[in-house]
Amino acid sequence: MTKSLNKWLRKIHRWIAVPTAITIPFGITFKLLGDPELMALWKKWDVVQSPLILTLAITGGYLYLLPYIVKGQRKRKNRQGEMAVR
Protein backbone atom coordinates (compact mmCIF):
# COMPACT_ATOMS: atom_id res chain seq x y z
CA MET A 1 0.00 0.00 0.00
CA THR A 2 1.10 3.55 -0.51
CA LYS A 3 2.21 5.79 2.31
CA SER A 4 -0.54 8.32 1.61
CA LEU A 5 -3.22 5.63 1.92
CA ASN A 6 -1.73 4.52 5.23
CA LYS A 7 -1.77 8.12 6.50
CA TRP A 8 -5.40 8.54 5.46
CA LEU A 9 -6.39 5.29 7.15
CA ARG A 10 -4.69 6.42 10.35
CA LYS A 11 -6.56 9.73 10.24
CA ILE A 12 -9.88 8.02 9.53
CA HIS A 13 -9.24 5.54 12.34
CA ARG A 14 -8.49 8.34 14.81
CA TRP A 15 -11.50 10.43 13.82
CA ILE A 16 -13.87 7.47 14.01
CA ALA A 17 -12.47 6.47 17.40
CA VAL A 18 -13.58 9.76 18.97
CA PRO A 19 -17.35 9.51 18.34
CA THR A 20 -17.26 5.79 19.05
CA ALA A 21 -15.55 6.35 22.40
CA ILE A 22 -18.14 9.01 23.24
CA THR A 23 -21.24 7.01 22.26
CA ILE A 24 -20.36 3.79 24.09
CA PRO A 25 -20.56 5.28 27.63
CA PHE A 26 -23.79 7.04 26.70
CA GLY A 27 -25.27 3.77 25.50
CA ILE A 28 -24.31 1.97 28.70
CA THR A 29 -25.76 4.80 30.80
CA PHE A 30 -29.02 4.86 28.82
CA LYS A 31 -29.43 1.10 29.17
CA LEU A 32 -28.72 1.18 32.91
CA LEU A 33 -31.24 3.97 33.50
CA GLY A 34 -33.93 2.08 31.62
CA ASP A 35 -35.97 5.17 30.73
CA PRO A 36 -38.18 4.37 27.68
CA GLU A 37 -37.50 7.77 26.08
CA LEU A 38 -33.75 7.31 26.42
CA MET A 39 -34.01 3.77 25.06
CA ALA A 40 -35.89 5.07 22.00
CA LEU A 41 -33.19 7.69 21.48
CA TRP A 42 -30.50 5.06 21.87
CA LYS A 43 -32.10 2.81 19.23
CA LYS A 44 -31.75 5.67 16.74
CA TRP A 45 -28.09 6.20 17.69
CA ASP A 46 -27.33 2.49 17.63
CA VAL A 47 -27.84 2.56 13.87
CA VAL A 48 -24.99 5.09 13.66
CA GLN A 49 -22.73 3.42 16.19
CA SER A 50 -22.65 -0.04 14.61
CA PRO A 51 -21.03 1.05 11.31
CA LEU A 52 -18.58 3.20 13.28
CA ILE A 53 -17.47 0.21 15.33
CA LEU A 54 -17.21 -1.97 12.22
CA THR A 55 -15.09 0.64 10.41
CA LEU A 56 -12.96 1.07 13.51
CA ALA A 57 -12.37 -2.69 13.70
CA ILE A 58 -11.44 -2.97 10.02
CA THR A 59 -9.05 -0.01 10.02
CA GLY A 60 -7.60 -1.09 13.36
CA GLY A 61 -6.95 -4.59 12.05
CA TYR A 62 -5.20 -3.19 8.99
CA LEU A 63 -3.08 -0.81 11.07
CA TYR A 64 -2.18 -3.66 13.42
CA LEU A 65 -1.05 -5.87 10.52
CA LEU A 66 0.70 -3.08 8.60
CA PRO A 67 4.19 -3.56 10.16
CA TYR A 68 4.08 -7.27 9.34
CA ILE A 69 2.95 -6.58 5.77
CA VAL A 70 5.76 -4.06 5.25
CA LYS A 71 8.30 -6.43 6.77
CA GLY A 72 7.23 -9.19 4.37
CA GLN A 73 7.40 -6.83 1.40
CA ARG A 74 10.86 -5.68 2.46
CA LYS A 75 12.12 -9.28 2.73
CA ARG A 76 10.68 -10.12 -0.69
CA LYS A 77 12.30 -7.02 -2.20
CA ASN A 78 15.68 -7.89 -0.64
CA ARG A 79 15.49 -11.45 -1.99
CA GLN A 80 14.72 -10.18 -5.48
CA GLY A 81 17.66 -7.75 -5.24
CA GLU A 82 20.01 -10.56 -4.19
CA MET A 83 18.81 -12.73 -7.08
CA ALA A 84 19.50 -9.90 -9.57
CA VAL A 85 23.05 -9.44 -8.24
CA ARG A 86 23.95 -13.12 -8.71
- Domain enclosing residue 23, as ranges: 3-85
Instruction: Report whether pLDDT(82) > 80.
Output: no
Q: What is the pTM of this model?
A: 0.66
pLDDT tens digits, 21-56: 888 888 888 888 888 888 888 888 778 888 888 988
Instruction: Report whether pLDDT(2) > 80.
Output: no
Output Rg (C-alpha) for the chain, integer angstroms: 21
Per-residue model confidence (pLDDT) at position 76: 83
Mean pLDDT computed over every residue of the chain: 84
For the chain, how many structural domains are there in total?
1
Q: Which residue has the higher pLDDT, 8 or 27?
A: 8
Element of type H or E holding 37: helix 36-85
Task: Assess contact for 9 and 59: CB atoms under 8 A.
Answer: yes
